[in-house]
């Protein structure tokens, strides 16, 4: 079997691979809050770097930017996949931080339970109403397509005739 069977192994550097490995469930549950905060900072900087490189490669592909390397980039799929892996890792760590900040056993309150019950409106139901309102009718006049050069010719002729009269 190939040593790079996992796409993460092929796309990420060793440091990035170690950071992403720390976001997987068995290791993620053992990290403390300061360690998670430091990890999410490092992951975000790596994600931003991958996005920045992907943007630069996109410019090079379209011919809008100067190449940063010896040859201009021909494809940015690998960089985009790397950024996506880092985004997923950031999401896992932020979810773990959010779970750490909420007290255990506390469930978020439903918004409908906190709102007071309003009385039903006293006016009657309107019945059938139009769904979309008025619709415009298509014009029955025949449309004539003029050559744009013809329009310019006619206006120019008017200008020339006026200039002759003014002389």
Q: How confident is the model at residue 91 (pLDDT cuts 50, 70, 90)?
A: very high
Q: How many residues does the chain have?
A: 167
For the cut 50, the answer to whether the pLDDT of residue 1 exceeds it is no
Q: What is the structure's pLDDT at 137?
A: 84
Distances (CA, A) of 109 to 95, 112, 113: 19, 9, 7
Question: What are the pLDDT digits (tens) for 111-147?
Answer: 555 666 777 777 777 777 766 777 788 888 878 788 8
- Cα separation of 46 and 20, whole Å? 11
For the cut 80, the answer to whether the pLDDT of residue 23 exceeds it is yes
DSSP conformation letters of 61-96: HHT-S--SSSS-----HHHHHHHHHHHHHHHHHHHH
Domain range list for the chain: 7-103
Question: What are the pLDDT digits (tens) for 33-79?
Answer: 999 999 999 999 999 999 999 999 999 998 888 888 888 888 889 99
| 123 class by beta-carbon count within 10 Å (0-12 exposed, 13-18 middle, 19+ buried) | exposed
């Amino acid at each position: 079997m190939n040593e790079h069977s996992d796409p993460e192994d092929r796309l990420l550097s060793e440091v990035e691979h170690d950071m992403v490995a720390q976001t997987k469930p068995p290791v993620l549950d053992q990290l403390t809050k300061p360690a998670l905060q430091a990890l999410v900072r490092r992951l975000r900087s790596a994600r931003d770097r991958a996005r920045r490189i992907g943007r630069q490669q996109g410019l090079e592909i379209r011919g809008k930017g100067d190449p940063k390397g010896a040859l201009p980039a021909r494809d940015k799929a690998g960089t985009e996949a790397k950024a996506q892996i880092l985004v997923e890792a950031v999401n896992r760590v932020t979810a773990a931080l959010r779970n750490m900040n909420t007290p255990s056993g506390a469930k978020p309150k439903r918004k409908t339970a906190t709102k007071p019950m309003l009385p039903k409106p006293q006016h009657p139901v309107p019945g059938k109403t139009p769904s979309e309102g008025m619709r415009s009718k298509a014009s029955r006049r025949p449309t004539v397509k003029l050559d744009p050069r013809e329009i310019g010719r006619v206006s120019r002729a008017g200008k020339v005739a006026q200039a002759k009269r003014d002389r």
